[in-house]
Structure 1
Amino acid sequence: MPTTGDDLAPEIWLAIADEVVASDRYSEGRLPSRYMAVNRVFFNLYLDTVYGDVQWTKVDKDMMKQLKRLQKPIIASHVRSLRIHAWFIDYLMKRDAKTDVPSTLCARILSLFNTNAKPHPSNQAQTKLISSVSSKTIMDLMISAIHNMKSVTEYHFELRDLRLTKDSSRFLVAARQAFSSSLRKLSVHTTIFKFKSVLALSDFEHLEELELHFDYQCHRTHGEDAHEASKFAEAQELKDTIVPFINLRKETIQSLTIASYSMVDLSDFFKSIGPFRSLRRLSANICLDTKQLSDSKALVDLIYNHRSSILELDIRPRPPEEDFINVEDTAARRKESAVRIQKALLEHRDVARSLEGLQIPVGDLNACLALIDRSSHSLTHLSLIDWFFSLEDLKRVLNLFAPNPFRLKSLFVWVQDLSVPLLQLLAGRLPGLHSLVLLFETCTSNHTHQMEDHFYHQLAVSSKEGRLDWQVEHISIIQIKSTISPEDAELLGVPSTAGYTDPTYTSAVSAAIPSIKSDKGIQWHRKLPPRRINSTPPSPYG
């Protein structure tokens, strides 16, 4: 019998979908809706790409349309990742406390989607929407949608300063219960005192990835005694609530991220967690000074005790607690705090021997090189921050990979000057590089139009002569003083300056290197760990 489309395996249809997306310049990396009717594979794939990642970050018309559609179980079942920023709920709760809202809220919300309604200017529609929605209505709709989400594996929740009322607590409990069995990754942003409202000891028993962000705790009273009392209370809450939650899951947790904006000393916290049976990734975005990490051995011992399992180590120091003086002084203190951790790590000869991913502040260059050298034979991802490399210093880093130049697949590095010789150096020393992120101070094209023409001329000549033939496919090249979006700034570890990232240099270099496929170097480098925790490859439509 002849083979029909129904006889083809789903994997073949997914490959066909890849080709459809690649050939459609208007697809924006996702399967167009007109292909939904081809078969069930395309139908599910389209719903996966549209509803796979749901973000509730503000009340607008798009969110309300999405909430309406997520009331249908067949749609909500395709949600894999849910991200909620609760600030808009808090805003609505405060507004509701001051005003009386009419009783026919749900009907008024749904009427906004009546296609026969007279169109309004966008600003009028948004104003009408905000004034028509109460916090209770929003939470009722979200709870209903959450109950239909049976396949959520990632949950990101920014509680921030959300007040814990009867309705908001009902929402938090509903989310915990709905995702309890399916969740594999949990990320929570809130103050240490509010974690108990999100975390329950009996929930999320299959958790593999855990991110905890300790927000700054505002103090109601002033004075040194009150400040110390508050820090003591935070430390006690860590011990009573968060440590038990983590340790009950130490058999399943494979990735642990701790980011702290709190003033609490984390030494006892690091001493109290673990050991983890199969910890693959450890990330610490914390102050490394003596006030917030009085005992550097606490963090270093945690790394040392898991040296045989950790594949990715990410250390990003936050500015020390001391009062801000100036940028240079703050940077110097931050560097000093990082060096104390570097030296403590180097005291253990068998730490960082088989890492696949490493992100560290350079601190002391010689100490940094010594740490990189330990795992240069196994590293595939390397991020070096808080240090603008000269060409000569960068050569010292690249020399470490000379025995196996094809091993490193992704590099993020800060450089003093963007130049064609720099690109040629990277192309020659790291021929197997897959993604590249460069954050630079100056460029030879910045000073005069003549020098700018010279830079682009050098790019063209080098490309024509084959000196930029490379395997690199994804790049991001960004000047530290140019416009940088909040999303990219978070990944780069620098302040945001605008709503978008200036693509000028990325576009110029992309035109000179034939192998480059996208300007998503940041996303490829930072969002994709060297080895997926759950061995699931990234979606080509994400």
Structure 2
Amino acid sequence: MPTTGDDLAPEIWLAIADEVTASIASSGGRLSPRYMSVNRIFFNLYLDSVYGDVQWTKLDEAMMRRLKRLQEPIIAKHVRTLRIHAWFIDYLMKRDADTIVPSTLPARILSFFHAGADQHPANRGQTKLMSSISSKTIMNLMISAIHNMKNVFEYYFELRDLRLTKDSSHFLVAARQAFSSSLRKLSVHTTIFKFKSALALADFENLEELELHFDYQCHRVHGEDAHEASKFAEAQELKDTIIPFINLRKETIQSLTIASYSMVDLSDFFKSIGPFRSLRRLSANVCLDSKQLSDPKALVDFIHEHRNSLFELDIHPRPPEEDFVNADDTVRRRKESWVRIQKSLLAHRDVARSLEGLHAPVGDLDACLALIDRSSSSLTHLSLNDRIFDMEDLKRVLNLFARNPFRLKSLLVWVQDLTVPLLLLLAGRLPGLHSLVLLFETCSVDIDYSGHQPRDQFAKELGIRSREGRLDWQVEHISIIYMRGPIGPGDAELLGIPSTGGYTDQRYMNDISAVIPSVKSRKGIQWHRQLPPRRINNMS
């Protein structure tokens, strides 16, 4: 008898499903609903793709429809990632305090839930803010959905200024308890004083990745004495709540991200946490000047202490919290704050020997080259931020990989001029590159003699070099970004720069994709930092 799909082992179907989803994901697409009818494996795969990442960030009709579906355990069990921005809850709580909720609210909720999916064509695609639902009703619905989520691995919660009432506290406790055993990644945004409400020492015993974002604490009383008293109180809260929470998980945490918009000095914080048994990744988005890091040795010693386990180091210095003078002066002080850390790291000869991912400002170019050289035999992902490279300085960087040109898989770099010789240089020196993020100030060959009218000379030169066989490159994911053009909010967030437009300019990516057949997507930014997952999840 002929073999049918039902005769194939589940392992084969899983392999087929993996290939299908990988192919669709690489091109930025989404699994079609028609796959649900293939078999149960694809049925679950589709539900994973739709409900795997749930975002409760805006109370509109789209969120309410999804919230309705998540009341069903068979749907909620497919949630792997939950993201909550509590601003809309706080908004509803403040509104409820000023208005009387209509007595017909339950009927209104039920009528919404039982309303058909078909809408008038004029209303399709609209996402109106739901203004007639009380905060208590919404939180009860979310708590019910959370109790059905048995497989959440990642939880992102922006607490911000949410008022801690009986109902909101009940919601926070429910989320902690529901995810306690399954959660592997936790990200919390709030002020240092509110972390106690979102964290509990007994919860999240299997946590592997932790992101803590310390929001700025508004001071109701002005004056130097009040300001210093608040900083002291924040430091004490770090010591009493956050540091113990981290240290109780130092046997399991493999990835740690600290982002601080607070004025608190983090020197004692870095001295007090750890050591971690298997810290693979460290990300620090903090101010490195003498006010927020009075002892630079604290951060340097922390990195040095974990030198044998760290595979990825991501440093994003924030501008010093001083009176604004001008943009150039702010950039200068930011650079100086990083250079003092950079040179202290170089004093330890065994730092950065086994890094696979390095994302940091260039700072002092010679010091930057020395750090890269130390890890050039292991480095696969490199970001060079806060410096616009000319061809000669870029060659100095690429020369460090001459011994193993196929090692580097992903590169982010800023350049002055986008030219065909630049691409030929990268293709020749880094033939094994998998993803490229290239930010440029100008494309001089596309500027006419009047100084501003764009032409198509760049695309023409690319075509010529391609026909000559000089662009035989296997790069798969690219982001070629004109810094003076529009940059979409999603790309800007990943780059850590302000957004300047609705959509990132695609013109130069189109030109390059047309002559390099291996390019699969124009999402190099999304792919850039993706180290092999085994480094975070599977190594011990």
The two structures have a TM-score, normalised by structure 1, of 0.94
Query: Which residue number in structure 2 is paired with residue 115 of structure 1?
Result: 116
Contact kept? 1:444, 1:451, Cα under 8 Å? no
- Provide Cα deviations, 1:387-408, integer angstroms capped at 9, x if missing partner: 1111110000000000000000
- Give how far 1:301 is off: 0.3
Farther off after superposition, 421-430 or 35-44: 35-44
- Give how far 1:157 is off: 0.4
2:324 pairs with 1:321: no
- Give how far 1:487 is off: 2.2
Task: Report matched runs for 1:23-422 at 5 Å.
Answer: 29-113=29-113, 114-115=115-116, 119=120, 122=123, 130-422=130-422
Task: Report matched runs for 1:448-527 at 5 Å.
Answer: 448=448, 452-527=455-530
Residue aligned with 1:466, SS: coil
Q: What is the root-mean-square deviation of aligned Cα atoms in Å?
A: 2.2
Provide the rounded CA distance (Å) in 2 between the counterparts of 1:118 and 1:211.
Answer: 41
Provide the rounded CA distance (Å) in 2 between the counterparts of 1:335 and 1:118.
Answer: 55
Provide the rounded CA distance (Å) in 2 between the counterparts of 1:5 and 1:308.
Answer: 48
Contact kept? 2:446, 2:456, Cα under 8 Å? no
Residue aligned with 2:436, SS: strand
Query: Which residue number in structure 2 is paired with residue 539 of structure 1?
Result: none
- Provide Cα deviations, 1:174-219, integer angstroms capped at 9, x if missing partner: 0000000000000000000000000000000000000000000000
- CA separation of 1:124 and 1:438: change in aligned 2, threshold 3 A: closer
Q: Which amino acid aligns with 1:79?
A: V
Provide the rounded CA distance (Å) in 2 between the counterparts of 1:94 and 1:133.
Answer: 13
Contact kept? 1:82, 1:155, Cα under 8 Å? yes
- CA separation of 1:461 and 1:14: change in aligned 2, threshold 3 A: farther
Percentage identity across paired residues of the two chains: 79
Provide the rounded CA distance (Å) in 2 between the counterparts of 1:181 and 1:395.
Answer: 49
Q: Which amino acid aligns with 2:508?
A: Y
Residue aligned with 2:403, SS: coil
Residue aligned with 2:537, SS: coil
- Provide Cα deviations, 1:303-348, integer angstroms capped at 9, x if missing partner: 0001010010111100001111111000000000010001100000
Provide the rounded CA distance (Å) in 2 between the counterparts of 1:375 and 1:247.
Answer: 29
Q: Which amino acid aligns with 1:83?
A: R
- Give how far 1:140 is off: 0.8
Residue aligned with 1:36, SS: helix
- Give how far 1:297 is off: 0.4
Provide the rounded CA distance (Å) in 2 between the counterparts of 1:118 and 1:41.
Answer: 31
Gaps in structure 1 of 5+ consecutive residues: 537-542
Provide the rounded CA distance (Å) in 1 between the counterparts of 2:342 and 2:497.
Answer: 22
Runs of 4+ in 1 over 3 A off after TM superposition: 1-4, 14-25, 116-127, 527-532
Contact kept? 1:17, 1:31, Cα under 8 Å? no
Provide the rounded CA distance (Å) in 2 between the counterparts of 1:527 and 1:174.
Answer: 32
- CA separation of 1:11 and 1:100: change in aligned 2, threshold 3 A: same
- CA separation of 1:58 and 1:528: change in aligned 2, threshold 3 A: farther
- Give how far 1:441 is off: 1.3
Contact kept? 2:270, 2:298, Cα under 8 Å? yes
- Give how far 1:462 is off: 1.2
Query: Which residue number in structure 2 is paired with residue 540 of structure 1?
Result: none
Provide the rounded CA distance (Å) in 2 between the counterparts of 1:419 and 1:427.
Answer: 13
Gaps in structure 2 of 5+ consecutive residues: none
Residue aligned with 2:455, SS: helix
- Provide Cα deviations, 1:462-498, integer angstroms capped at 9, x if missing partner: 1111211111000001122222222211211211123
Residue aligned with 1:243, SS: helix
Residue aligned with 2:131, SS: helix
Q: Which amino acid aligns with 2:327?
A: V
Provide the rounded CA distance (Å) in 2 between the counterparts of 1:392 and 1:122.
Answer: 57
- Give how far 1:138 is off: 0.9
Contact kept? 2:62, 2:127, Cα under 8 Å? no
Residue aligned with 1:214, SS: strand
- Give how far 1:30 is off: 2.6
Q: Which amino acid aligns with 1:340?
A: R
- Give how far 1:17 is off: 3.9
Farther off after superposition, 115-124 or 245-254: 115-124
- Give the length in aligned residue pairs: 534
- Give how far 1:111 is off: 2.0
- Give how far 1:3 is off: 3.8
Contact kept? 1:418, 1:443, Cα under 8 Å? yes
2:461 pairs with 1:427: no
Provide the rounded CA distance (Å) in 2 between the counterparts of 1:227 and 1:297.
Answer: 25
Q: Which amino acid aligns with 2:368?
A: C
Residue aligned with 1:277, SS: coil
Query: Which residue number in structure 2 is paired with residue 447 of structure 1?
Result: 447
Provide the rounded CA distance (Å) in 2 between the counterparts of 1:97 and 1:312.
Answer: 47
Provide the rounded CA distance (Å) in 2 between the counterparts of 1:450 and 1:98.
Answer: 56
Provide the rounded CA distance (Å) in 2 between the counterparts of 1:325 and 1:216.
Answer: 21
- CA separation of 1:520 and 1:532: change in aligned 2, threshold 3 A: farther
Residue aligned with 1:132, SS: coil
